């Protein structure tokens, strides 16, 4: 079994985000990037599969500032190979473009299974996994919280609203959007990270022609306007409780 994990970075929200001068993107000068949390879970899921039944894990990302660190951390976590795909730009691409840019390299890599995060701060609709599956022409399931190997297929747990779960079997090769690994992503000690960096085993690939095109263009980016201030309910606990009840009824949230 060969598993490819597609990862990317998102802005770290410990810094305040600023819109750049053009008004179409983030001011990158101040933004710190970190690994997308869901991709972190996808990686953990891959490493768990490797530990459970033996698998080769390749981690794949588009080239960009700070990506080396992310790939080394993945190697320190248990990935066997790390592949950096050059799409001719250091700028982050939206999911549509990223999927076209990555598809060729992934096909060359020839994995049986592709795992990626179900969504990201800049892909709240979770389009990365479906776009990638469409590019590759493979089946796809998203919002998955557990992956097990079942012969030539994988059995996955897919989550629905209201906490309902479905168990699905997907033929391989397939693309899975991971919501959560069965256990939280494990800690990578700095010494491991340094050893991974010292081994320096990053591979590179170039995105094919026509890669990184299509998709939508951002015309304007703005901070949300501050809304009306919250209404503070005052009075004794009983009065406050009554007011809350009245409000809930008014909005039709209470029956009976």
**Contact set with another protein (CB under 8 A):** 12, 14-15, 32, 34, 184, 186-195
Minimum Å gap between C-beta 129 and another protein is: 25
Minimum Å gap between C-beta 121 and another protein is: 16
| Beta-bridge partner residues of 113 | 3, 174
Closest Cα to residue 114, out of 230, 227, 6, 234? Answer: 6
**Residue 190 or 217: which CB sits closer to another protein?**
190
**Residue 77 or 96: which CB sits closer to another protein?**
77
**Residue 194 or 249: which CB sits closer to another protein?**
194
Residue with tokens 């698998």: 55
Question: What is the per-residue DSSP string for 28-76?
Answer: TTT--EEE-HHHHHHHHHHHHHHHHH--EEEEEEE--TTHHHHHHHHHH
**Residue 155 or 186: which CB sits closer to another protein?**
186
Minimum Å gap between C-beta 103 and another protein is: 31
Minimum Å gap between C-beta 200 and another protein is: 16
Distance (Å, whole) CA 122 – CA 91:
13
CA torsion sign, 65 to 69 to 74 to 80? positive
């Amino acid at each position: 079994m060969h598993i490819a994990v597609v990862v990317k970075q998102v802005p770290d929200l410990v810094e305040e985000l600023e819109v750049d001068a053009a008004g179409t993107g983030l001011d990158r000068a101040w933004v710190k990037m970190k690994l997308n949390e869901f991709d972190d879970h996808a990686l953990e899921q891959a490493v768990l599969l490797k530990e459970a039944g033996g698998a080769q894990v390749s981690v794949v990302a588009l080239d960009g500032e700070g990506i080396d660190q992310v790939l080394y951390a993945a190697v320190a976590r248990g990935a066997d190979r790390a592949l950096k795909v050059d799409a001719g730009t250091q700028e982050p691409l939206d999911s549509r473009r990223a999927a076209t840019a990555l598809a060729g390299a992934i096909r060359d890599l020839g994995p049986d299974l592709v795992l990626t995060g179900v969504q990201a701060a800049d892909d709240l609709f979770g389009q990365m996994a479906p776009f990638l599956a469409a590019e590759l022409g493979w089946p796809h399931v998203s919002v998955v919280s557990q992956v097990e190997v079942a012969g030539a297929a994988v059995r996955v747990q897919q989550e629905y609203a209201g906490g309902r779960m479905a168990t699905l079997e997907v033929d391989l090769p397939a693309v899975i959007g991971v919501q959560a690994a069965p256990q939280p992503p494990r800690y990578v000690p700095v010494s491991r990270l340094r050893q991974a960096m010292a081994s320096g085993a990053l591979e590179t690939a170039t995105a094919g022609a026509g890669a990184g095109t299509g998709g939508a263009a951002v015309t304007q980016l703005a901070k949300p306007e501050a809304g009306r201030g919250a209404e503070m309910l005052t009075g004794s606990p009983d009065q406050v409780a009554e007011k809350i009840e009245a409000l809930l009824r008014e909005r039709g949230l209470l029956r009976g």
